[in-house]
Chain A
């Protein structure tokens, strides 16, 4: 009979063989470098292996771990790139807009932004939504919510600030990984 750890390893090896190719192809769509893709895939397997005892949905855990790693990687490079562009005084910061990486990032951002916005107090959330998603002027926001334009402006600034802080926290958390 195999010991528990032997069977553990065996299971993992089997799953590794089964999913490595698919995971590599999945991540490769979003990450330009093959090397980085390999690293992300390896790291995702490693983290999943460590958690194997508690992981119920192996594939989902593995893929979401890898996806988070890819997003973190992209986010990190985006920050570096944005800083570089800003320092160069170049306002054309939309260069990354069309890459497959950007698609992944967009999904992740949309999800996180949704979470962040959902957590705002109602008036703040409504003011931000009216301004950002409906392009309302501050006066229009104020009229819709029955508040002054100045208060609307304050709500929008607070909404932006709290959204930003939430996104920062989430990225720091996911960057530390699953343990």
Chain B
């Protein structure tokens, strides 16, 4: 009734959704997390949509796992180790190349 709902910021929604996807599969997920998740997802249709989208991408990642792992994992660990050994490179290493 004339009530103005602020439209959620899409980047913020995506960020929250990604954090929920990851939090809910944590070993230390708590009842309190689940209660807060229920409140969050019910708060706006955008939240539910973003959560569904990101869950789908997560499933796709898991599905692609064996193939991606085979070709990529060595590089991944090397890169991460290099990054950990290299002090403070602003902007991070994007050694995967750009499109």
Q: Does the CB pair B26–A113 fall under 8 Å?
A: no
List residues of chain A with CB within 8 A of the CB of B76. Answer: 117, 122, 125-126, 129
Q: Is the CB of B27 within 8 A of A160?
A: no
Q: Complex: how many Å from CA A165 to CA B63?
A: 18
Which residues of B, 56-91, contact A by the 8 Å Cβ criterion? 56-69, 71-73, 76-77, 79-80, 82-84
Taking CB atoms, residues of chain B closer than 8 Å to A37 are none
Hey, which chain A residues are within 8 Å of B57, CB to CB? 160, 163-164, 167
Q: Is the CB of A138 within 8 A of B26?
A: yes
Contact of A109 among B64, B71, B83, B94 (CB under 8 A): B64
Question: What is the bound-complex CA distance between A157 and B60, given in angstroms?
Answer: 15
A119 within 8 A of B: yes
Q: Kindly list chain A residues whose C-beta atoms are within 8 Å of the C-beta of B99.
A: 115
Q: How many residues of B contact A (CB 8 A)?
A: 45
Count of interface residues, chain A, beta-carbon cutoff 8 Å: 41
Residue in A closest to B65 when the chains form the complex, CB atoms: A133
For B64, what are the chain A residues with a Cβ–Cβ distance below 8 Å? 106, 109-110, 113-114
Q: Which residues 1-36 of B sit at the A interface, judged by CB distance below 8 A?
A: 14-15, 17-19, 21-23, 26-27
B18 near A161 (CB under 8 angstroms)? yes
- A118 CA to B78 CA, complexed, in Å: 13
Interchain nearest-CB distance for B63 vs A (Å)? 7
Given the known interface contacts A119-B96, A129-B76, the answer about A157 and B18 at a Cβ–Cβ threshold of 8 Å is yes
Within the complex, which residue of B18, B56, B69 is in contact with A158, where a contact is CB–CB below 8 Å? B18
Q: Quick check: A129 and B73 within 8 Å, CB to CB?
A: yes
> Is there contact, CB below 8 Å, between B56 and A145?
no
B38 at the interface (CB under 8 A from A): no
Q: What chain A residues lie within 8 Å of B59 (beta carbons)? A: 93
> Chain A 103-133, CB within 8 Å of chain B: the 1/0 string?
0001001100111011111110111110011
Contact A132 B61 (CB under 8 A): yes
Chain B residues within 8 Å of A106, by CB: 63-64
12 A-B contacts, Cβ less than 8 Å apart? A106-B63, A110-B67, A117-B76, A118-B96, A123-B84, A126-B77, A126-B79, A129-B73, A129-B77, A137-B27, A145-B84, A161-B17
* A-B interface, 7 closest residue pairs, ranked by CB to CB distance from nearest: A118-B96, A126-B80, A121-B92, A133-B69, A122-B79, A122-B83, A161-B18
* A interface, CB within 8 angstroms of B: 82-83, 86, 93, 106, 109-110, 113-115, 117-123, 125-129, 132-134, 137-139, 145-146, 153-154, 156-158, 160-161, 163-165, 167
